[in-house]
Amino acid sequence: MSPCTLIVGAGLYGAACARELHDAGHRVHVIEQRPQPGGNCATRYVAEADCHEHLHGAHIFHTDSDRIWTWVNRFARFNGYVNRVKVRHGDALYSFPINLFTLYQVFGAKTPDEARAALARERQPIAEPANLEEHCLATVGPTLYRLFIEGYTRKQWGRHPSELPAEIIKRIPVRLDFNDNYFNDRWQGIPIGGYAAMFDRLLAGIRVDFGVDFLRDRDHWLARYDRVIYTGPIDAFFDHVHGRLEYRSLRFERELLPIADFQGNAVVNYTDAAVPYTRIVEHRHFDLPSPARNERASHTLITREYPAAGGAGAEPYYPVATAANQARFERYRALADELAPQVHFGGRLAEYRYYDMHQVIGAALAHVQRRLHGGCHRIDALTPSA
Ligand code: UDP
């Protein structure tokens, strides 16, 4: 019988590895600290509001890769939801990400040429932008930067944009047409039945034990299994011997309101520094309800998202990509190679990377491919295949 692999964490990375290894005839045992699978993608159905609640923040699946889209469609039917965010700043509402309609709202531009001219007037001549603020000033100029980026980013990351790398913002497009899709990828949607249904299929036939804290009995588990895939925070695995890796956390304030529709959209960003939360999510809109279903609902569920400091006791959500944090992570990676060669460290927390879901899947599939074809199973600086 093949040796059994222990997989620590039933989030997307752990579940994808479990599925692939299981389907290749390997035995796997998944342990998960939380009471349900799905990691931060987890959803649950809320009958009062007739919607799937995204328990740890909105998760919209998107990818440009046919391979990853085909793979994930084995476990879910996607509903065709397209993320079209609105921004609230003060009393005003804007289309977002920045597109021709936004440029009309802010500068009165009515055509791509007028929009291009408006941006050319706004842009500041910064030859080599050194941080997020300079990148924005050089690409969209101060008016749009102050309206949409500065306040939100400061709240989200707890630092001024001049102290953050530009990479954080480069994922958001700026367009000169009316396309207000938040993502550029060809494929996008939310699983019908929520991520809970998708993870049920992903983990079908696989042994998963919930409510198990690996780190509390780490040595016991490492002694029992020759091969381990660990998807938790890498610094916690090593008892923070090199200090804590910095994360931003989130606090969610949910409210069940006795009305049918609160904001008419799934996501409204609050970019104003004076408002303490960054966005309000209204969950039913992710399910693409028919107008009739939406109007006859007796309640709607909303969640306000408050950024919070990470650290002991706080859920780690976003790795903070500063040079100091990256250097600390490299020290943990060296420790992993030296002390835990039987453990593969993968996923957002173990690789300390701001992964999207499709990138997590790409990295997990790449890992299993390497392992099945004789590659090593140590920590790898994976470049997720798109
Ligand atoms: N951002 C911003 N204003 C917005 C939305 C995003 O300044 O209205 C910046 C902010 O720094 C954020 C980054 O863009 O951290 C990436 O945003 P995204 O929506 O992709 O973040 P996520 O959904 O992963 O929290």
pLDDT in tens, 38-80: 999 999 999 999 999 999 999 999 999 999 999 999 999 999 9
Provide the 3-class DSSP secondary structure of residue 2: coil
Whether residue 294 has its Cβ less than 6 Å from ligand 1? no
Token pair, residue 319, equals 């790795």
Query: In angstroms, what is the span from residue 87 Cα to ligand 1's centroid?
Result: 12
Whether residue 172 has its Cβ less than 6 Å from ligand 1? yes
| Residue 147 DSSP symbol | I
Backbone angles phi, psi at 93, to 5 degrees: -115, 140
Strands 43-46 and 51-54: antiparallel
Whether residue 148 has its Cβ less than 6 Å from ligand 1? yes
Which of 102, 152, 281, 315 for mutating ligand 1's site (highest number of atoms within 8 Å of CB)?
Answer: 152
pLDDT of residue 375: 52
- In degrees to the nearest 10, what's the CA dihedral of 373, 376, 381, 385? 10
Q: What's the chain's Rg over C-alpha atoms?
A: 22
Asked if 171 is an active-site residue, the reply is yes
Q: Which residue has the tokens 């969640």?
A: 303
CB 348 within 8 A of CB 317: no
Token pair, residue 312, equals 């002991």
pLDDT of residue 139: 97
Closest atom of ligand 1 to 156 CA is 15
Backbone angles phi, psi at 186, to 5 degrees: -70, -30
CB 262 within 8 A of CB 279: no
How far apart are the C-alpha atoms of 74 and 369, rounded to whole Å? 18
**Start-end of CATH 3.40.50.720 domains in the chain:** 4-37+203-246+316-373
Q: Using one digit for the tens of pLDDT, what is the confidence trace for 180-221?
A: 999 999 999 999 999 999 999 999 999 999 999 999 999 999
Token pair, residue 164, equals 């953050």
H or E segment and range at residue 137 = helix 132-139
Nearest to 224 by CA among 368, 342, 379: 342
> What amino acid occupies position 180?
D
Provide the 3-class DSSP secondary structure of residue 20: helix
Closest atom of ligand 1 to 271 CA is 8
CB-based burial label for 238 (10 Å; 0-12, 13-18, 19+): middle
pLDDT of residue 93: 98
Asked if 351 is an active-site residue, the reply is no
Asked if 175 is an active-site residue, the reply is yes
- The architecture (CATH level 2) of 4-37+203-246+316-373 comes to 3-Layer(aba) Sandwich (3.40)
pLDDT of residue 384: 37
Q: Name the residue with the closest Cα to ligand 1, atom 14.
A: 169
CB 13 within 8 A of CB 346: yes
Query: In angstroms, what is the span from residue 97 Cα to ligand 1's centroid?
Result: 10
Which of 136, 169, 270, 272 for mutating ligand 1's site (highest number of atoms within 8 Å of CB)?
Answer: 169
Asked if 317 is an active-site residue, the reply is no
Asked if 34 is an active-site residue, the reply is no
Q: Name the residue with the closest Cα to ligand 1, atom 7.
A: 149
Whether residue 43 has its Cβ less than 6 Å from ligand 1? no
The third-level CATH classification (topology) of the domain covering 97-168 is protoporphyrinogen ix oxidase, domain 3 (1.10.3110)
How far apart are the C-alpha atoms of 188 and 80, rounded to whole Å? 6
How far apart are the C-alpha atoms of 54 and 45, rounded to whole Å? 9
Provide the 3-class DSSP secondary structure of residue 279: strand
pLDDT of residue 1: 67
Q: Name the residue with the closest Cα to ligand 1, atom 13.
A: 169
Whether residue 170 has its Cβ less than 6 Å from ligand 1? no
Token pair, residue 246, equals 């910095």
Asked if 287 is an active-site residue, the reply is no
Token pair, residue 269, equals 């960003």
Closest atom of ligand 1 to 150 CA is 7
Backbone angles phi, psi at 30, to 5 degrees: -105, 135
Query: In angstroms, what is the span from residue 278 Cα to ligand 1's centroid?
Result: 9
Low-confidence residues of the chain: pLDDT under 50:
376-386
Got the DSSP string for 185-245?
-SEEE-BTTHHHHHHHHHTTTSEEEES--GGGGHHHHHHH-SEEEE-S-HHHHTTTTT-PP
pTM exceeding 0.85 = yes
Question: Residues near 327 by Cβ (< 8 Å), separated by ≥ 6?
Answer: none
